Copies of this chain bind each other. A is one copy, B any other.
């Protein structure tokens, strides 16, 4: 378990909104972490070993924090949101395990991936276990409404992941297709996580929908910015290798826009690099210069800003509460972290 970069330990001022949100739900979050450790146990020892590796690997717990904060924003005072937040994290973790197999990744958050340590087989099967365990937890909670929200989300995530597989190495991918992929593979779980908070609080439909919309828009903003950060050298210190998506031929918005606006020579360049995956030493730099020429990183961030603003507006119906303030700041942070 080689630590390649102590990235997650960096305290950047821009991360304060997330820290603020986490501090507001600190006690609940302890409960979530305890539930996660408790519920990933199995007589088959490899399961908690492998699951513990990824669960403990310094994830931001962003999705379960959304569930916790949403429940508290809705005035909820019970305990159900804790095990449901753990469900949300289990579903997320299962998709990460399968993603890393699919992407043939060796590193995640600066640590070796589970598949690099234990092999693809174990990662696939432990992902299946965590996914099943999430449903067991939901069944124990007993709400068919929550089960519907999270089983719908799970099916959409899988559709989004397959969609991403189909757009990879395909420069003909359009903006609509890209947006549908990131909505399904990323934003839907943010949306479900936030909505579940309102459901346990038994709040009116409008508040549920507001929190769902907040999560959906926030998730899209986060993914857009992640896709920009993959090309943004200033963020190299944050534990990501610049240009990973480019090297794998993943088609993200900065590339979709650059391809559409490119002349024939530029289009040929993108096809060689992303479809044929024939890449030389200087190709990433050239790709960056083309994206700069067409302003596609900046434009992708503008889109992200639009979704972050939409996320903020969806919270208007809630009274002023510390959780609301922190969620508003989180929406800003989703985009600010790119600067």
Contact partners of A46 in chain B: CB under 8 A: 162, 165-166
CB-based nearest B residue for A123 = B124
Given the known inter-chain contacts A132-B154, A144-B144, please indicate yes or no for A163 contacting B124, CB distance below 8 A: no
How distant is the Cα of A101 from the Cα of B119 in the complex, in angstroms?
Answer: 12
Contact partners of A159 in chain B: CB under 8 A: 42-44, 47, 129
A26 at the B interface (CB under 8 A): no
Given the known inter-chain contacts A42-B159, A102-B125, A159-B47, please indicate yes or no for A139 contacting B131, CB distance below 8 A: no
Tell me how many residues of A have a C-beta within 8 Å of chain B.
Answer: 41
Min CB distance A54 to B, Å, is 15
Residues of A63-109 at the interface with B, using a CB-CB cut-off of 8 Å, are 94-95, 98, 101-102
Min CB distance A279 to B, Å, is 21
Contact partners of A121 in chain B: CB under 8 A: 101-102, 165
A161 at the B interface (CB under 8 A): yes
Given the known inter-chain contacts A135-B147, A144-B142, please indicate yes or no for A162 contacting B122, CB distance below 8 A: yes
- A124-136 CB mask vs B (1 if < 8 Å, else 0) is 1110110111011
A247 at the B interface (CB under 8 A): no
Known: A132-B151, A136-B155. 4 other contacts (CB 8 A): A102-B120, A126-B162, A131-B154, A132-B154
In the complex, the answer to whether A166 meets B44 with C-beta atoms within 8 Å is yes
Please name 8 pairs of A and B residues whose Cβ atoms are closer than 8 Å in the assembled complex, sorted by A: A42-B162, A126-B162, A128-B131, A129-B162, A135-B135, A135-B154, A136-B148, A142-B144
CB-based nearest B residue for A47 = B162
Each complex incorporates copies of this chain amounting to 2
Min CB distance A173 to B, Å, is 14
Name A's interface SS: helix
Contact partners of A95 in chain B: CB under 8 A: 128
A152 at the B interface (CB under 8 A): yes
A4 at the B interface (CB under 8 A): no
CB-based nearest B residue for A166 = B46
Min CB distance A247 to B, Å, is 17
Contact partners of A44 in chain B: CB under 8 A: 159, 162-163, 166
Instruction: Give residues in A with beta carbon < 8 Å to B.
Output: 42-44, 46-47, 94-95, 98, 101-102, 120-122, 124-126, 128-129, 131-133, 135-136, 138-139, 142, 144, 147-148, 151-152, 154-155, 157-159, 161-163, 165-166
Min CB distance A22 to B, Å, is 29
In the complex, the answer to whether B155 meets A133 with C-beta atoms within 8 Å is yes
Q: Which 3 residue pairs are nearest across A and B when measured between Cβ atoms?
A: A129-B158, A132-B154, A132-B155
Contact partners of A151 in chain B: CB under 8 A: 132, 135-136, 138-139
How distant is the Cα of A94 from the Cα of B122 in the complex, in angstroms?
Answer: 16
Given the known inter-chain contacts A122-B162, A125-B162, please indicate yes or no for A147 contacting B139, CB distance below 8 A: yes
Contact partners of A126 in chain B: CB under 8 A: 158, 162
